[in-house]
Chain A
Amino acid sequence: MVNSATSIPRTELAWNVLGTVEDPEIPALSLVDLGVIRFVRERPDGHLEIGLSPTYTGCPATAMIRRLVEDALAAAALDASCTTVLSPPWSSDWITPAGRRKLLEYGIVPPQKTGSLVRDGRRGNRPVDCPHCRSVDTESVTEFGSTPCKALHRCRACLEPFESFKCI
């Protein structure tokens, strides 16, 4: 029996499906853009194992993400379950170039590269550009924002508040 689906590996089908699953808190990004899908493995019995990393250990969206993944794959007739992968820990450096572009379009400043984190441990990172008017005359309001992965800033030029993705 031959059909078109059998010619594409099931792991590849799964990756395609996962590329359409939105992050529940930042719907501009897919889970693949976010870099939290670590692997897709097929067991001999055909069951797919999805390696999933939490962005933050306490992120309340983690359980939701797990369910979205399993539901989306089930809807595509792919039998799958998720495994939590802690090591190596997820890094904001793993957000894909497409993901970084989508974040900026969505109004969230993409994360700086992790090397910059240690530069000024006490006062915080160097200024980030305003995503609205591109001014560098911005200030940090708080290291912690509406979700564990974001920090809050304010632009002194256009006076708009904005969020940045934390560098971790």
Chain B
Amino acid sequence: MSEAASVAADTLFRYVLRLGDMSLVLAQRLGEWVGHAPALEEDLGLANIALDLIGQSRFLLSYAGELEGNGRSEDDLAFLREHRDYLNPILVEQPNGDFAHSIVRQVLIDAFQLALYERLVHSSDERLASIAAKSVKEIRYHLRYSGGWLVRLGDGTAESHARTQAALQSLWRYTGELFAEDELDRSMCGHGVAPSLAEVQTAWGARIDDLLTAATLQRPAGQAHAWHGKRGEHSEHLGYILADMQHMQRTYPGARW
């Protein structure tokens, strides 16, 4: 029996949901840019990133459904759960704001996902390790895109610099939650399923500092973490996202393409 096999399925279910929800909610936000991005290339870029994130969340939610063992499919989990059952961090549900705001949010999350997934590749849970190995290749591209824009905007005009710094100031407070370990994180780490979040934070911080320096941006002080999206306590924004995303399935249950 492997290490992972001794983890209670319902604990692993909640952990995999956290990962899947993070990707799914961010994808839904990015989708709002389609048709509204500053240029066609950015429209395509943001839509492509959203598509990858949906792909990742499909693999994760399908796995979560199997772990739960109640016959819920990826679609059931995406379209028929209430906001309190969503376990994504608050950061990914924050509104898009201007382009700089979306780029800053993306950089913060891409760097987090990269640091996390680079380590999940070695998870004692084989299924999670294989999903991570596939996803990490895509996430590297996401950070290249968002990081490239962060540098261009930060080290750009006075206007783009000011907007990017303001976005960083506004979103930084939500990053603390990413690294605030709770019982579930510690249990996953103890079983070798997930890395320690302290280790992820160190890797994340190094990448972020490197990017901020290149972008001539100031790292804000302090990382509050009085947010608990990971245990289902969300900002008001998630309700609107779900209302939009779940509308069809709620109105016409069982509707298919």
Contact = CB atoms under 8 A, between A and B. Distances in A.
A148 B52 contact: yes
B59 A86 contact: yes
Contacts of A122: 144, 147-148, 151, 211, 214
B144 A121 contact: yes
B55 A87 contact: no
B138 A168 contact: yes
B41 interface: yes
A34 to B, nearest CB: 16
B45 A86 contact: no
A141 interface: yes
Interface in B115-162: 126, 129-131, 133-135, 137-138, 140-141, 143-145, 147-148, 151
Contacts of B55: 54, 56-59
B49 interface: yes
A166 B141 contact: yes
A123 B44 contact: no
Contacts of A57: 52, 55-56, 58-59, 134-135, 138
A124 interface: yes
Most chain B CB neighbours (cut-off 10 Å) among A86, A144, A152: A144
B51 A60 contact: yes
Nearest to A120: B144
B54 interface: yes
Nearest to B135: A57
B45 A144 contact: yes
A143 B59 contact: no
Interface residues of A, number: 27
A166 B41 CA distance: 16
B12 interface: no
Q: Is the interface of B mostly helix, strand, loop or mixed?
A: helix
Contacts of A88: 133
Contacts of A143: 45, 141, 144-145, 148
A19 interface: no
Contacts of A56: 51-52, 55, 138
Given A54-B55, A87-B133, A146 B44 contact: yes
Interface in B1-59: 41-42, 44-45, 47-49, 51-56, 58-59
Given A60-B51, A143-B45, A123 B137 contact: no
B41 A142 contact: yes
Given A87-B130, A122-B148, A152-B41, A58 B141 contact: no
A89 B137 contact: yes
Contacts of A145: 44
B137 A124 contact: no
Given A86-B130, A86-B131, A168 B44 contact: no
12 contacts: A56-B55, A57-B56, A57-B138, A58-B53, A58-B54, A58-B56, A60-B51, A89-B137, A121-B143, A122-B214, A152-B41, A152-B44
Given A58-B55, A121-B144, A144-B48, 19 more contacts: A56-B52, A57-B52, A57-B138, A58-B52, A59-B55, A87-B134, A88-B133, A90-B134, A121-B140, A122-B147, A122-B151, A142-B41, A143-B45, A143-B141, A143-B144, A143-B145, A144-B141, A152-B41, A166-B141
Interface of A: 54, 56-60, 86-91, 117, 121-124, 141-146, 148, 152, 166, 168
Ranked nearest first, the 3 interchain pairs of A and B with the lowest CB-CB distance are: A58-B55, A57-B55, A87-B130
